[in-house]
Amino acid sequence: MIFSHKMPKNSKNSDNWRKMERWRYILMDFAGRCWLGRRGPGKGIAVVSSGHLGDILHAVPMLKAIRAQNPQKQLFWLVGPWSEPLARRYAHYVDKIIIFGPNLPPLTRGKAVWRQHAFKQWQMALKLRKNGIETLIAPLNGFGRFLANAIQPNRWIGIGERRPPRVRRGIQTVVQPYEKDRYEADALCGLLKPLGIEVRADRLEYVVTPEERQAASEFLRMEAVDLTRPLALFAPGSGWSGKNWLPERFGAVAEWLAAAKGFQIAWVGTPNEVALVPASRSGDWNWVGKTSLSLLAGIMARAQLFVGNDSGLLHFAAALDVPSVSIWGPTSPGKWGPKGNLHRTIRKVERCADCIYWDYRETCRHDHACMKAVGVEKVKAVLENLLVSRCGNHQCSLR
């Protein structure tokens, strides 16, 4: 999530997280509270989207609403180095995109290139203070408090349980309660109520450029994909192993779609997800790790179906109106699942109390029980329902 953070107990990694917040951002926000520089005359709005690709897509409806209602105010968007290229596609909604990468493992995911030095974060915050920020929309956590103390906005808005301690006295804190099943994009739009903006968000957006469409067409031609037949994209990864449905079950569903429904099957994902493609589907197209994100989005726009877990690619399918069926376990489909009649989500049980689904270094402690609870026949039945509801019969290309 972007604007909330709950710390699980009894975990070595969560202890490390606490130590980093304790020593890095408590020291930084202490420096921010002690700094005597005055806030600039501007009345800008700063929005922090410190998550990865899906978080960027979910933040866009909020940014659009701010821009539409406050065209005269400067709008600054703070995004991580990991999501900057995607954020640049929406640069027309803001005045400036600023790189802000909290150096925390669940965000940097062990990549040195994504680790932003604390001094750079400090310099960035002081520049925003000199410019003048009236409203900060940011996480109610350690690095959010650092930003609030260093930037000195009049108002800090975020999702959480309470006003964090050690915040400058002159900063008004507006806390929006966390709702675990409220659609994330809609929850972020809810943060705008203190600004007098009432808006809902039920879908995401991503526009494939003509150049990307052309590149996708050329790629599909080179791969000898038959564009007269429906194409289903299978994404077996998610960014955390605990959210992954079993590869062999994905393979069984792919076999059924190909044999009974006439779909062509292609597997997609990041390079480190190659091992998740089931060996039984060696005859399918395997594009895992072989496409850029922009090329994959162009390919996705030509596909008729997406099947996967809770992942960044699922959000792209939603933004491109690609019919989807997704399997869920640790995370909430009510918060992160696609909305609308084009999409189906499947979840059998809630996550376990000690699940640390947000940290890539963690592993499932219960043998993936929540994901294993979803059977192949259930997924096939949901796919059948989607086919019938979209086409009125059992044989169609969905769109």
Please report the pLDDT score of residue 393 as a whole number: 52
Of the pLDDT bands very low, low, confident and very high (cuts 50, 70, 90), residue 12 is low
Lowest mean pLDDT among 18-27, 115-124, 383-392: 18-27
Give the per-residue pLDDT at 225: 98
What does CATH list as the number for 210-391?
A: 3.40.50.2000
CATH code, 12-195: 3.40.50.2000
Give 293: exposed, middle or buried? Use CB within 10 Å, 0-12, 13-18, 19+: middle
- Which pair of structure tokens corresponds to residue 392? 């009125």
Residue 5 confidence class, pLDDT cut points 50, 70, 90? very low
pTM, 2 dp: 0.89
For 388, the token pair is 């019938």
Categorize the per-residue pLDDT at 9 as very low, low, confident or very high, splitting at 50, 70 and 90. very low
Cα separation, 120 vs 108, whole angstroms: 16
Mean pLDDT, the chain, integer: 90
Output b/e per residue, 247-285; b: 16+ Cβ within 10 A: bebbbbbbbbbbeebebbbbbbbbeebeebbbeebeebb
Q: What is the pLDDT of residue 2?
A: 33
Contact 34, 190 (CB under 8 A): no
Within this chain, domains 12-195 and 210-391 share the same CATH topology: yes
pLDDT tens per residue across span 138-185:
999 888 999 999 999 999 999 998 999 989 988 999 999 999 999 999
Over residues 280-300, the pLDDT tens digits come to: 999 999 999 999 999 999 999
Domain ranges for the chain: 12-195, 210-391
Q: Calculate the CA dihedral of residues 379, 381, 383, 387 and round it to 10 degrees.
A: 180
What contacts 151, CB < 8 A, 6 or more positions away?
32, 39, 46, 125, 128, 129, 133, 136
266 HSE (CA, 13 A, CB side): 26
How much of the chain, in percent, has pLDDT values that exceed 70? 90
Write down the residue that tokens 């070595």 correspond to: 12
pLDDT in tens, 197-214: 999 998 899 999 999 999
Beta carbons of 312 and 331 less than 8 angstroms apart: no
Say whether pLDDT at 30 is over 90: no
